[in-house]
Amino acid sequence: MTAPDPTHPYPSPPAPDGVHYRACNLCEAICGLKITVQGGRVTDVRGDPDDPLSRGHICPKGTALPDLHADPDRLKTPLRRVGESWEPMEWEAALDYVAAQLRAVREQHGADAVATFQGNPSVHNSGTLLSAGAFLKALGSRSRYTATSIDQLPHHFAGAEMFGHPLMLPIPDVDRTDFFLMMGANPLASNGSIMTAPGIRDRLKAIRARGGRVVLLDPRRTESAEYATDFHHIRPGTDALFLLALLNEVFASGLQRTAHLGGVMTGLDALKAAA
């Protein structure tokens, strides 16, 4: 591993040779990794079989981490575009430059003229995780874009409406349930994203092995269908109707249990009528 870059304000110390146990932060499955460093270089990355959560699982993104780390095009210092080329800058100068430009754009065009985009690389970085909220609030821009929009925003919305905060996300208890209903989810491709369930293939197999059912609804027969006991095509755009039909069945069969929700529940009759 090369010496720390002195232009970086927080240089990482070089990792000594040997085996290092770390967690992959590329997605919230947070797989445990066993990383071998030899001669200052990462020579091997594999899933840590002793990690109690991921149990040795690793996906191609995790195994590619050394490529990311050693990529010759990896930015190690701020670059400023000058015409058709790029010039390196010192961090202090870069931060001052960005601050001045942000202010100028905001003064000239308003707060919404500054757009932001967030995805896993920033959301799973402890530095930006701590600072992004205050920074975005200070920017005051409504032009906020994120991979969340096409991923789990409905989940956040439901969490905010039902539990009071978009990060209060119910997580299915994959390892204990005997009936796992998935609608439009494809955990074999997402690696159990949002459920924080690395190695989802084995977890779905385990539901079946203990006699449970894995029911999947999707307009497309996805990779996950191979691991379901029941797969049903559903017409795109009709998920809400399916759920209402499910509720109707609950009401019709008298299966609803609402006594403990008396103080916090409203609109049951309207829901029943709609269903």
Residues that bind ligand SF4 (CB under 6 A): 24, 26-27, 29-31, 58-59, 61-62, 191, 198
Q: Locate tokens 């009709």: which residue?
A: 238
- The Cα–Cα gap between 200 and 204 comes to 6
Closer of 129 and 245 to ligand SF4 (Cβ): 129
CB of 62 to ligand SF4, least distance (A): 3
Which residue number, 78 or 198, has a Cβ lying nearer to ligand SF4?
A: 198
8 Å CB contact between 200 and 187: yes
For 121-260, strand residue ranges (E) read: 144-146, 179-183, 213-217, 230-232
The CB-of-28 to ligand SF4 minimum distance in angstroms stands at: 7
User: Residue 114 is encoded by which pair of tokens?
Assistant: 């500054």
Specify the residue, 191 or 222, whose C-beta has the smaller distance to ligand SF4.
191
User: Shortest Cβ distance from residue 60 to ligand SF4 (Å)?
Assistant: 7
Contact 56, 49 (CB under 8 A): yes
DSSP E strand stretches across 103-211:
116-118, 144-146, 179-183
Min. distance of Cβ 196 from ligand SF4 in angstroms? Answer: 9
Angle 113-116-119 from CA coordinates, rounded to 5°: 165
Q: Pick between residue 197 and residue 228 the one whose CB is nearest to ligand SF4.
A: 197
Establish how many alpha carbons lie within 13 A of residue 1's alpha carbon, considering only the half-sphere containing its beta carbon.
19
- The two structure tokens encoding residue 72: 């010759």
Kindly list the distances between the CA atom of residue 96 and the CA atoms of 93, 99, 100, 128, in Å, as whole numbers in the listed order.
Answer: 5, 5, 6, 18
Residue 201 vs 272, nearer CB to ligand SF4: 201
User: Least distance to ligand SF4 from the beta carbon of 17, Å?
Assistant: 23
Closest approach of ligand SF4 to the CB of residue 48, in Å: 11
Q: Which is nearer to ligand SF4, 61 or 208 (CB)?
A: 61
Q: Would you say how long the chain is, in residues?
A: 275
User: Rounded to the nearest whole angstrom, what is the least distance from the CB of residue 204 to ligand SF4 in the complex?
Assistant: 15
Q: Which is nearer to ligand SF4, 223 or 230 (CB)?
A: 223
